Amino acid sequence: MADETVCPAVLLVSSRFDFTCDYVVAALRRRNIGYLRLNSEDLPGCAVTLDPVGRHLSVILGDTQFLIAPTSLRSVLFRRPVFLRDYGDDSRTAQERFARIQWASFMQNLLLFDSARWYNDPTCTYKAEHKAIQLHKAAQVGLLVPETVVTNTPRQGSLSLPGDRFAVKGLDTVMVREAGEEIFGFTTFAVNSDLSDPAWASAPTVLQEAISCKTDVRVTVVEERVFAVEILVTGEGVDDDWRIHKRTAQFIPHNLPDGVSGKCVELVAALGLRYGAIDLALSGSKYYFLEINPTGEWAWLVDAAGLPIDEAVADALAY
187 or 158, which is more confident? 187
* Total residue length of the chain: 319
51: left (phi over 0), alpha (psi -120 to 50) or beta: beta
Among 158, 184, 209, give the residue marking a domain's end: 209
Question: What mean pLDDT is reported for the chain?
Answer: 90
200 or 257, which is more confident? 257
| Backbone CA torsion sign across 123, 128, 132, 138 | positive
40 or 155, which is more confident? 40
pLDDT confidence of residue 286: 97
- Please give the average per-residue pLDDT across 192-210, as a whole number: 89
- Same domain? 33 vs 107: yes
Among 104, 119, 134, give the residue marking a domain's end: 119
| Distance of alpha carbon 26 from alpha carbon 197, whole angstroms | 52
247 or 311, which is more confident? 311
- Same domain? 81 vs 24: yes
Residue 176 pLDDT exceeds 90: no
- Please give the average per-residue pLDDT across 241-260, as a whole number: 89
pLDDT confidence of residue 82: 55
Q: Which domain holds residue 169?
A: 148-209
| Distance of alpha carbon 269 from alpha carbon 248, whole angstroms | 33
Give the CATH number of the domain where residue 264 resides. 3.30.470.20
Q: How far is CA 63 from CA 8, 67, 72, 170, 195, in A?
A: 15, 13, 21, 46, 62
- Same domain? 287 vs 181: no
- Same domain? 189 vs 260: no
Residue 174 pLDDT exceeds 90: no
- Same domain? 115 vs 130: no
Give the CATH number of the domain where residue 12 resides. 3.40.50
- Same domain? 137 vs 277: yes
The pLDDT-based confidence of 184 (bands split at 50, 70, 90) is: low
- Please give the average per-residue pLDDT across 150-177, as a whole number: 78
Could you tell me if 69 and 7 are in contact, meaning their C-beta atoms sit under 8 angstroms apart? yes
**pTM higher than 0.95 for the full model?**
no
- Same domain? 235 vs 274: yes
- Same domain? 110 vs 178: no
Segment among 65-79, 163-177, 264-278 with least mean pLDDT? 163-177
Those residues with Cβ within 8 angstroms of residue 17's Cβ, 6 or more apart along the chain or in another chain: none
pLDDT confidence of residue 183: 58
pLDDT confidence of residue 90: 60
Residue 156 pLDDT exceeds 70: no
Q: How far is CA 303 from CA 20, 105, 135, 157, 243, in A?
A: 12, 34, 30, 47, 18
| Distance of alpha carbon 205 from alpha carbon 147, whole angstroms | 14
Q: pLDDT tens digit string along 59-116?
A: 999 899 999 999 999 999 998 765 555 555 467 788 888 888 898 889 889 999 999 9
Segment among 88-92, 120-124, 131-135, 278-282 with least mean pLDDT? 88-92
Residue 175 pLDDT exceeds 90: no
- Same domain? 173 vs 132: no
Among 102, 119, 136, give the residue marking a domain's end: 119
- Same domain? 115 vs 42: yes
| Backbone CA torsion sign across 229, 234, 235, 241 | negative
- Please give the average per-residue pLDDT across 197-219, as a whole number: 92
- Same domain? 188 vs 136: no
Residue 251 pLDDT exceeds 80: yes
- Same domain? 14 vs 70: yes
Residue 50 pLDDT exceeds 60: yes
The pLDDT-based confidence of 247 (bands split at 50, 70, 90) is: confident
Number of structural domains (the chain) is: 3
| Distance of alpha carbon 307 from alpha carbon 228, whole angstroms | 9
